[in-house]
Every structure is written in C-alpha cells, then in structure tokens.
Amino acid sequence: MFGFFTRRRRQALLEAPFPQEWAEILTRNVPLYTRLSEADRQQLHGLIQVFLGEKHFEGCGGLELTDEIRVTIAGQACLLLLHRDTDFFRKLITILVSPSAYMAKGIEPIGGGMVLEGEQARLGEAWVGGVVVLSWDDVRRGAFDPRDGHNVVLHEFAHQLDQEDGAADGAPILEHRSRYAGWARVLGHDFEQLKADERAHRKTVIDGYGAVNPAEFFAVATECFFEKPARLRKKHPELYDQLKSYYHLDPEADLPASGVATPGN
C-alpha cells in the first residue's frame, strides 16, 4: 500500500508543470542543462520535482536556503537519473549545504603513492547514513565550467548511487548480474592504472583523487564522464562504455559542446 501511494505521488510530481523560474535557475547555473535535448529537459524537470518533494535540505553555517540553491543542486544530481529506472537516491534523506568549504578529517593523494591524512577543507561528502554535505560556493563553481572535469554534486551523488547496496566500493547496483564481471574488470584495471600514473606523476584525464580507493574512482570517473566525455572516451574507451551503459547516456553525443553560461548571482 505504501508503495502504491509513493508511486502515485511521484507520478503526479513527474507530470506537474515545471515553474518557469526554476527553468531560469537551471539555465543560469547548470550549463549542462542547456545542452540537453528538449525531451531530456522535460524528463529532468519531472525528476527534479520528485527529488525536491522527497529530500530534506538544511542550511549550515548561517546559510539561508533558497530555490536557487535547492534547484541548482537537484538539477545536477538528477542528471545521474536520466533515462534510468530509478528510486531517486533511495537511501538519501538530507542534503546539508554550507556557504563554503568546511574542515573535516580525510585523506588526500600527494603523488608517488603517498597520501596526506588530517584536517582538510572539504567541498562535499556523502555519508552511508543517507546524508550528503555540499559547499554552495563549490556547487556553483563546479557547475559553471561543465568541461573542467570537476563537479562536486555529480561526485557526491555518484557516491550515493554506489552506496545503495550498503557498500561504498565503486560497484553500484547494475541492471543485470551478467554485467558485474565486465564492470569489475574494466574499472579495476583503470583504477590500478590511475594509481600507477599517480606514482609516476603522469598526467591523466581522470583526476588523481580517484586513486584513493574504488569508491572515489567511480565518483571521479562519473565527473569526467559528464564533463570531459570526448577525452575520457579517447583515453579509456572501455570505461566510457561501462559508464554509458550504466547511466543510459552518451554525453559526447547527447550533451553537445556549447558556450559556457554565465553563473547566476
């Protein structure tokens, strides 16, 4: 019975008119949105409305939440749900938004196979307990240039997808059991290659932070897939194909390059 009412509520949200002011926020703040086909924009609108209807946002450090903040975050997060049979980040409950980067314990690769541990400035985090933490300054910065390979929302919500089976291991729930062997082979190989490239201080298309562990590799690869698809496909064709199959999207074809939009205020 609960599932019936959930499906009915979601269907109503998916079909509800999308506020024009929200579309304007997406146009200003999410350049990837402007590169979607009209059909994909309409689908994204519905996903955003379900997302905003089900997830709880909290401002931290004195940040006052606005539609600008909520819609900008939801718009980027829901790009990961396009074309997919989704349960809307089913374990996610709350999104905490701070005004800017914040301090937390963590590790950071410093090259040569070495990592630095201690208090670090964080742009975002995804907790297994159903919480995502984001820096609003970095949300906007990451979305503004859709070709730099860095997007904190795509990164942290990729972690949410990864954690839906209860483990943060770089292996999200796949549609068919037969796909896990290929996923493990390709992502495992490219993860090891990234670690070797980091040790040798070689330049890579995938950000070196992905060498920390398989979970970070999947999240960083997701950022690269959406923001640098042509380069990722050239350097890592099998990885690109695995992500294309998982996300049901071919960014190189479906998100044609265009000018970078001006960020909103």
Cβ neighbour number for residue 258 with a 10 Å cutoff: 11
97-132 tens-digit pLDDT: 999 766 466 555 555 555 556 555 556 677 667 889
176-215: per-residue pLDDT in tens? 999 999 999 999 999 999 999 999 999 999 999 999 999 9
DSSP-assigned letter for residue 83: T
Q: What are phi and psi of 58, to 5 degrees?
A: -135, 135
Question: Whole-prediction pTM value?
Answer: 0.86
3 state DSSP class of 131: strand
62: left (phi over 0), alpha (psi -120 to 50) or beta: left
Q: What is the pLDDT of residues 22-69, one digit of tens each?
A: 999 999 999 999 999 999 999 999 999 999 999 999 999 999 999 999
CB atoms within 10 A of CB 79: 25
Note the pLDDT of residue 133.
Answer: 94
Query: Quick check: 169 and 94 in contact, CB under 8 A?
Result: no
CA 192 – CA 197 distance, rounded (Å): 9
Domains detected in the chain: 78-254 (3.40.390.10)
Average pLDDT over residues 219-239: 97
Which residue do the tokens 């970078």 mark? 260
